[in-house]
Chains A and B, each alone.
Chain A
Amino acid sequence: GQQVMQIPQYQHVQEGEDFTTYCNSSTTLSNIQWYKQRPGGHPVFLIQLVKSGEVKKQKRLTFQFGEAKKNSSLHITATQTTDVGTYFCAGRGSNYKLTFGKGTLLTVNP
């Protein structure tokens, strides 16, 4: 079945440093979504990417969808303590099933 791998599992950065998490799917995706879950909270939808090679920005966050629609990345520029949380990618396959990656837990040292 469809698998979505996400790395790294953990990332600790100093405030102001950049952060990137990567997602790789075993199958071609129709779209990929990104979620953020704060400690003790629930996943919050950030963005959906649909087109091959798509790049979207939300302030300091940059999301990319690979040309083959099998990989994606989330890059945060100049992290802040408010960026702390677990970032999940979730890929939707041709069967419309949404599969979550394992998530990357980001911690930021002020």
Chain B
Amino acid sequence: AAGVIQSPRHLIKEKRETATLKCYPIPRHDTVYWYQQGPGQDPQFLISFYEKMQSDKGSIPDRFSAQQFSDYHSELNMSSLELGDSALYFCASSYTHGYTFGSGTRLTVV
């Protein structure tokens, strides 16, 4: 069965650089979510999209933005990266019940 695809799996950036993370949700799932998970932490909700429109916003810094495109894939854009942005970034999609998470992008800011 198709899963949520995220790319890249790993990303190393320097401080003040920008990063773009991509997510391809499960076909026919109408909602996409972005989460940030620090080491030993629970996933923190960043932002979500329902049918390509932003539906909810969590603790997403102003330096981050996201969008969902006509083909339903989503991108999380992160600018002016800081050391504290180092984390696992998960995308998840859902239709009715639980969320299906992608394998995540591990971002390391050096």
Which A residues are within 8 Å of any B CB, using their own CB? 33, 35, 41-48, 88, 96-103
Contacts and interface: CB of A to CB of B under 8 A. Distances in A.
Contacts of B28: none
Contacts of B45: 97-100
A42 B102 contact: yes
- The dominant DSSP class at the B interface is loop
Interface of B: 41-45, 56, 90, 92, 97-104
Nearest to A47: B98
A36 to B, nearest CB: 11
- The dominant DSSP class at the A interface is strand
Contact of A101 (B42, B44, B103): B42
Contacts of B100: 45
A41 B100 CA distance: 13
A99 B45 CA distance: 8
